[in-house]
Amino acid sequence: MPSFADRIKQKAIDMGLSKCGIVRAELLGQESERLLEWIARGHHGDMAWLEREPEKRTDPRLIFPEARSVVVVALNYFTDHDHEQSSNKGKISRYAWGDDYHDVFREKLNELLAWIKTEDENADGKVCVDTAPMMDKAWAVRAGLGWLGKHSNLITTELGSWVFIGEIILNIDLDYDTQLVEDHCGTCMACLDACPTSAIVEPYVVDSRKCISYATIELRDETLPAEIVENIEGWVYGCDICQDVCPWNRFEQPTSESRFEPRFGETSLDLSSISEMDHEEYVERFRKSAIKRTKLSGIKRNAEALK
């Protein structure tokens, strides 16, 4: 008879989730040290929230005191479309083409948690999709979903790197996965060589301050840094270059989640339309979209940098 852990993993797949692993809820060790070193080097840029309560990022028991297990789930978001290449268009990062993954993924994980509770009346848990200070990639590696690529994204052997990561922290003990996935990057340096701003300062280390994604999404300055503008290569929101060149993404497969299809059929945005957009139009156009993260002022700033 399958264990409860195996049944949870099978239920996750049946629900349309892509991969699932389960590990003990415990302190992250080396991962914690690497995070603190990364912050000490200033690689987080203006993302000051990463400095706050770093201990919570490395111990799920500080987020959910009853924590015993962490169910780690990956969700494929790849849709088979290309960016529209045009001088009057700005490219959108693939993850933001469809509906906001926070909403889509959280809905699925809440459904999985509800099922777990019906199967075990003593079970309780907390769903985490960027709303709690979990080190998603570290937990995904520990759960055997894939390995951390040199571009610092999780890579899976089945789907490449086009996956979102989320967790359910549970108060029950389960059978745990112990098999890690070997690092298959080898001598490949494709992502480092392709990054136009040299943001991957060494294998597995990204300096956010040099990253196009960070600049066009998280940075709140009125103007983009000159070195970003000079090398922005048409990106108005985010950047996919390091993933586009990754050899492991030859295994990409279309997602079964229709909500990740490009909204309005757009993989790029018209720069003139953005420049003329008012707040009401912005709210309506990007309702339930990840693009709202950068705010109207940010997306206008990005569009101006591309003109």
Task: Please say if 130 is a catalytic residue.
Answer: yes
DSSP 8-state symbol, 267 = S
Measured in residues, the chain has a length of 307
Q: Which of 59, 124, 130, 270 is catalytic?
A: 130
Number of neighbours of residue 64 by Cβ within 10 angstroms: 19
282: left (phi over 0), alpha (psi -120 to 50) or beta: alpha
For the stretch 198-224, what's the b/e string if a residue is b when 16 or more beta carbons lie within 10 angstroms of its beta carbon?
ebbeeeebbbbbbbbbbbbbbbeeeeb
| Contacts of residue 208, Cβ cutoff 8 Å, sequence gap at least 6 | 43, 44, 45, 47, 199, 214, 218
The alpha carbon of 143 is separated from its chain's Cα centroid by a whole number of angstroms, namely 16
Catalytic residue numbers, as ranges: 130
